[in-house]
Amino acid sequence: MKMSIREAINLTLHEEMARDSRVVVMGEDVASGQGGVYGVTAGLTEKFGVARVIDTPITESAIVGAAGGAALTGLRPVAELMFIDFLGVCLDQLLNQIAKFRYMFGGQARTPLVIRTMIGAGEGTGPQHSQILYPMLAAIPGIKVVVPSNAADAKGLLAEAIRQDDPVVFCEHKALYMNECEVPEGDYVIPFGKARTVVAGTDITLCGLSRMAVLAEQAAVELAAEGISAEVIDPRTLSPLDEESILASVSKTGRLVVVDESNPLCSMASEIAGMVAEFGFDYLDAPVQRVTAPHTPVPATPCLEKEYVPSVADIVRSAKKALEY
């Protein structure tokens, strides 16, 4: 069935809440109004009631911390951190509490928690509502980080996130919500740590994260028009990261462009480039190219925001640079 990412997430929440009565949804505006800013949780209250679809005050530390405490004691909460930028007001609960429960309690704890959060620029939402920030989270042991780029992956990865037993941050790119694709019906679960080959190719690997996987696919089309065969890889989860698939692709193509909407310092692009430099050095015929946002905040003005976000042209340019090396 063809549906958007927004619809696929909404459907999966309905299915998982029906499947397991311990699944609760909590956050700001999840129950009332239209079901969040983009209506992702619409209809859940009517179906499952306010005991399981819980509107909270604007209180991110309490939302994240209480979701963690609830997960520790028997619920399977899906908490919404409206924008990932709001990590700034609740990071302790994730960094020092939830991420460490299992380890610091010697394996006694299970924390089956999903934090759904919106990431990314492209909607003119400015410096405090448009960041990526997932590299910060992927750097924290004990948390898994998921970055779906299409509706089918969103469904399968969210189902897995809700059913597995570790804390997961599920990053929804707001500029992708309306993107549609075919979504498998019924039970559909994608294991973490398995990259998807978006396009098979032989000349160069384009590894794109979240929305950048979509742009990388568009770049592959442009490159194909020039007779260049690009392979596009979408890791889909950043922690765990499917290093094996990335290395396997690079062993075939000899060239790699990593496309990441993060700021460049300590980005996932840097992590993947470093990983390939260390473990795939013999495969490389050219330096790894990183395409990222610049080391600036996200500007509100659409004309500068357009400059900020990596473009298809940036990806094509970097691919050619690697090919011409």
Binding site for another protein (CB under 8 A): 22, 24, 51-52, 54, 56-57, 59, 61-75, 77, 92-93, 96-97, 100-110, 141-142, 144, 164-166, 240, 243, 275, 278-279
295 catalytic residue (yes or no): no
- For the chain, what is the largest distance between any 2 Cα atoms, rounded to a whole number of angstroms? 60
State the DSSP H helix or E strand holding residue 64, giving kind and residue range, or none if neither: helix 60-72
Residue 248 in 3-state DSSP? Answer: helix
Instruction: Return the ∠ at Cα 67 (arms to 110 and 13), rounded to 5°.
Output: 90
In Å, how far are 93, 205, 271 from 286, measured between CA atoms? 42, 12, 17
Please answer whether residues 194 and 248 qualify as being in contact, where contact means their C-beta atoms are separated by less than 8 angstroms.
Answer: no
Smallest distance, another protein to C-beta of residue 258, A:
17
Q: Smaller CB distance to another protein: residue 25 or 133?
A: 25
Residue 224 in 3-state DSSP? Answer: helix
Please answer whether residues 263 and 295 qualify as being in contact, where contact means their C-beta atoms are separated by less than 8 angstroms.
Answer: yes
CA distance 19 to 270: 39
Q: Smaller CB distance to another protein: residue 5 or 258?
A: 258
Query: Considering 14, 129, 173, 295, which one is annotated as catalytic?
Result: 129
Smallest distance, another protein to C-beta of residue 313, A:
34
CA distance 170 to 173: 10
The reply to whether omega before 141 is within 30° of 0 (cis) is no
Residue type, 41: T
Smallest distance, another protein to C-beta of residue 276, A:
11
Smallest distance, another protein to C-beta of residue 281, A:
13
Q: Smaller CB distance to another protein: residue 3 or 113?
A: 113
Q: Smaller CB distance to another protein: residue 52 or 196?
A: 52
Q: Smaller CB distance to another protein: residue 54 or 219?
A: 54
Smallest distance, another protein to C-beta of residue 11, A:
23
Active-site positions read 129
